[in-house]
Structure 1
């Protein structure tokens, strides 16, 4: 075979490979943005829905702006977090297949795209008003602190991750300018702590105490179970007090009924965590049919209370 023939075929042979590589990197970047975890950002709809303004044009627009801002920002922070954890993730039986840990996406590219997404999230938040932008900035500050420091501090890491969920819920209220009650904040805070403790417990069960997350060597299954029991008990009591004491007349009935599916959601989550499948809470909401039914009944009863009484 002549050198000329090789030279003539090189551009043709290399182009498909380059195109395939570009597609794999693009697909890897999309996976690294964790689109399934955008489900967490649905918390921005909680306060507008509870205030009865989600069905209005302004309420829906404000909520969607907040949702978009947090999807962009969260994906950017995930890229930075995975870049910081790349070596640890490569030793993890499941996380080593993540795009950055597996080498599909380079650390440099991940950080560049992460910075762009965070900037886009801030600008989107600014489109919803400076107050929403300030809440998005607070989320960025907390997640950055978690990525580079707080994740290695036992107990504090639980509160930090739970705080990210609380910020999302608060952002929804800011986006549509509705007041946030203490009942709302307490239930959201305790629920967030419950999910985070369940996630850590499932990780600990799966990895047998030898996982790559720094704080797992400090925690025990018994301790995390205690945190879950404390958070779930306090949350149920708070929710019951809100449902029974803060409403009168006919409006009380649907809120009182909502207690039943609310408790069922908590109990189902506890069962799943004990089975060792609570490592990815968003996956539970997408795959577990009984949990979906209980959540649907809860949302239905609350919708009746908010919009039809």
Structure 2
């Protein structure tokens, strides 16, 4: 039994199940198109989620195989299944290939989804073997990957995306990417470029500037999204701006753990483990659902509360 549990843990670490939380972005178009309770659309989105997650597994494994030597001397990555020797490169490759085929099969009936997931796959192959060593472009590729997640969620249910949503997704992804690079610089110090060549092209000062710019862009693009007249007309409410404080708190909390706690190396784990970020995301999500799907109830409650204060 212990052996089985150990193998399952090794498999979970190999296929990066914790990273799948990033793929929940595929549900954003479902929610913001007012189709959350549309069962067929929900099923399509769930299938797209697993398709994207399974294809991503192969990317993670290919990257781990390529970087196995440098990961073996990394203080954190050395604990991964491949550099630690818990699994062979051959077995890992075939596991990744299995998940890739499974992921592709889930998108085979939707040509647009298939195209997007293949673009993501080949873009990340290019990243693994070349673009991860090109300064700034390496982070842009990561950010584009998040945009492709949102785009796949939209084409899975055949709805249009707001440009402001894409811009907000891209800009917040830049924060996570630059924050991750900064964490690596702080963690590895003088040995940074030896572990990851691109780190020699960055400095904490330039990354701080990039994080600041990206944070401002995220705040502005999200605020403009909530105040877009076309979307207000579509949603039937102008109250989405009330979710802005949760977004700002989440951003500030992330900056806090990057600068004060020297974290940020694994944004998906920070989302799960940092209580401040987790609470902000949950409250934001609850507010979004209430405002989009039960806005009349929210408006009535607000009026009632306002009258009570006046009285």
TM > 0.5: yes
- Pair 1:151-2:136 in alignment: no
Separation (CA, whole Å) in 2 of partners of 1:34 and 1:242? 32
Q: Which residue of 1 aligns with 2:301?
A: none
Deviation string, structure 1 residues 235-280 (Cα, Å, up to 9, x no partner): 1011112213432697112x11111111111111111111211111
Contact 1:90 1:96 in 2 (8 A): yes
Q: CA deviation at 1:144?
A: 0.8
What's the TM-score, normalizing by structure 1?
0.89
Distance in 2 (CA, whole Å) between partners of 1:26 and 1:109 is 14
| Offset at residue 30 of structure 1 (A) | 2.9
1:241 and 2:241 matched: no
Shift of 1:26: 5.4
Q: Which residue of 1 aligns with 2:191?
A: 210
Rounded to whole Å, the distance in 1 between the matches of 2:280 and 2:273 is 13
Give the CA deviation at 1:213: 1.6
| Residue 64 (structure 2) pairs with residue 82 (structure 1) | yes
1:298 maps to what in 2?
284
Determine whether 1:285 maps to 2:239.
no
Checking the alignment, whether the CA contact within 8 Å between 1:25 and 1:105 is kept in structure 2 is: no
- The Cα of 1:158 is off from its aligned counterpart by 0.6
* Other structure's SS at 2:227 match: helix
Q: Alignment partner for residue 145 of structure 2, among 160, 164, 167? A: 164
Give distance in 2, aligned partners of 1:27 and 1:238.
40
Cα offset, 1:24, TM superposition: 5.0
Q: Alpha carbons of 1:286 and 1:198: their partners in 2 closer, same or farther (altered >3 Å)?
A: same
| Cα displacement string for residues 181-231 of structure 1 (whole angstroms, at most 9, x for unaligned residues) | 111111111111111111111111111142312211111111111111111
Choose 1 or 2 for highest CA Rg.
1
TM-score normalized by structure 2?
A: 0.88
**TM-fit CA distance, 1:104:** 1.2
How has the CA–CA distance of structure 1 residues 27 and 238 changed in structure 2, closer, same or farther, with 3 Å as cutoff? closer
Query: How many residues matched?
Result: 289
Please state whether the residue corresponding to 1:208 is helix, strand or coil.
Answer: helix
Q: Tell whether 2:43 aligns with 1:61.
A: yes
- Output the CA distance in 2 between the equivalents of 1:26 and 1:286: 20
Tell me which residue corresponds to 2:121.
140
Change (3 A) 1:300 1:103: same
| Deviation, structure 1 residue 302 | 1.6
Report SS of the residue matched to 1:183: helix
Is residue 268 of structure 1 aligned with residue 250 of structure 2? no
How big is each residue's C-alpha offset from its partner over 1:58-107, in whole Å with a ceiling of 9 and x where there is no partner?
A: 22111100111011111111111100100010110111111100111111
Q: Following the alignment from structure 1 to structure 2, what is the Cα–Cα distance between the partners of residues 67 and 82?
A: 22
Match of 2:306? none
Q: Is the 8 A contact 1:197 1:228 kept in 2?
A: yes
* Counterpart-to-counterpart distance in 2, 1:82 and 1:241: 39
Does the alignment pair 1:228 with 2:228? no
CA–CA separation in structure 1 for the residues paired with 2:19 and 2:223? 29
Unmatched 5+ residue regions in structure 2? 296-311
Secondary structure class of the residue paired with 1:251: coil
Query: How far apart are residue 305 of structure 1 and its match?
Result: 2.4
**Cα distance in 1 for residues equivalent to 2:22 and 2:100:** 17
| Aligned counterparts of 2:67 and 2:7: Cα–Cα separation in 1 | 19
Question: Take 1:59 and 1:193, find their aligned partners in 2: how far apart are those partners?
Answer: 30
Q: Is the 8 A contact 1:90 1:102 kept in 2?
A: yes
Structure 1: runs of 5+ lacking an equivalent: 1-15
- Cα distance between partner residues in 1 of 2:64 and 2:269: 19
